[in-house]
A and B are shown apart, each in its own frame.
Chain A
Amino acid sequence: GAGVSQSPRYKVAKRGQDVALRCDPISGHVSLFWYQQALGQGPEFLTYFQNEAQLDKSGLPSDRFFAERPEGSVSTLKIQRTQQEDSAVYLCASSPAPLAGAPRGEQFFGPGTRLTVL
């Protein structure tokens, strides 16, 4: 079946612009995660949704970052007034957990959106 998809794959923004990054999780997956991966680093957790509820947003670096998943499927990560330090790959992952029988914590990653802020 189809995996996690993200769009756009590449985004160039001028400093101060707002951007919106989209994630389509695997159909039926309850949980959705956003991560930020800087060059040469491991992914860093940003936020987590269970269906439409945002259960954890502790990793969002500032109030310029906002995520939503209004119908419990597609999610959008929005970054307002982008800064150069926001340049990174933004990864979305989905998981069937916490449904009974689903492997604990197993997450499936999308291809990512590479954001470059000039």
Chain B
Amino acid sequence: QKEVEQNSGPLSVPEGAIASLNCTYSDRGSQSFFWYRQYSGKSPELIMFIYSNGDKEDGRFTAQLNKASQYVSLLIRDSQPSDSATYLCAVTDSGGGADGLTFGKGTHLIIQP
């Protein structure tokens, strides 16, 4: 049974600070890793994906992957109130095709103005 673990929060961060979201996964065969943002009552929206160990930066977002530790993280710099949402970590063992995603329960992030 594949499992993805996230702290459900809420995680409260002051506006302008760095928000750090963490995720661990159980399946060592996992190859692709995703962070989705989900606003209340809305559908998940992909914000970052990472396949290789190390860091990947996109604007204010940085995804970090450590396959040896089975650990994925998302950093949000200069946090804005609009970043307040639930962040879902998802993994798949698809190495190049399409495959169902295994999601964590999500971390509820609150950015305090």
A interacts with B:
yes
Q: Which residues of A contact B (CB under 8 A)?
A: 30-31, 33, 35, 40-45, 47-48, 50, 56, 59, 91, 95, 97-98, 103-112
Task: Give the contacting residue for A111; candidates B42, B88, B97, B106; CB below 8 A.
Answer: B42
Q: Is the CB of B99 within 8 A of A42?
A: no
Q: Is the CB of B98 within 8 A of A45?
A: no
Q: Is the CB of B98 within 8 A of A50?
A: yes
Does B62 have its Cβ within 8 Å of any Cβ on chain A? no
Query: A-B pairs with CB below 8 Å: how many?
Result: 73
Of the listed stretches B13-21, B45-53, B68-76, B77-85, name the one at the interface; the rest are far from the partner chain. Answer: B45-53
Which chain A residue lies CB-closest to B33?
A105
A48 with B45, Cβ < 8 A, contacts A42-B103, A42-B106 known:
no
Contacts of B100 in A (CB 8 A): 33, 45, 47-48, 56, 59
Q: A98-B96, A104-B94, A111-B43 are in contact. List 18 more A-B contacts (CB 8 A).
A: A35-B101, A35-B103, A40-B105, A41-B105, A42-B88, A42-B106, A48-B99, A50-B98, A91-B44, A95-B98, A98-B97, A104-B31, A104-B49, A104-B96, A105-B92, A106-B49, A107-B101, A108-B46
Q: Is the CB of A107 within 8 A of B46?
A: yes
Task: Give the contacting residue for B51; candidates A30, A50, A104, A111; CB below 8 A.
Answer: A104
Q: Is the CB of A44 within 8 A of B99?
A: no
Contacts of B42 in A (CB 8 A): 111
Report A35 CB to chain B, min CB distance, Å: 8
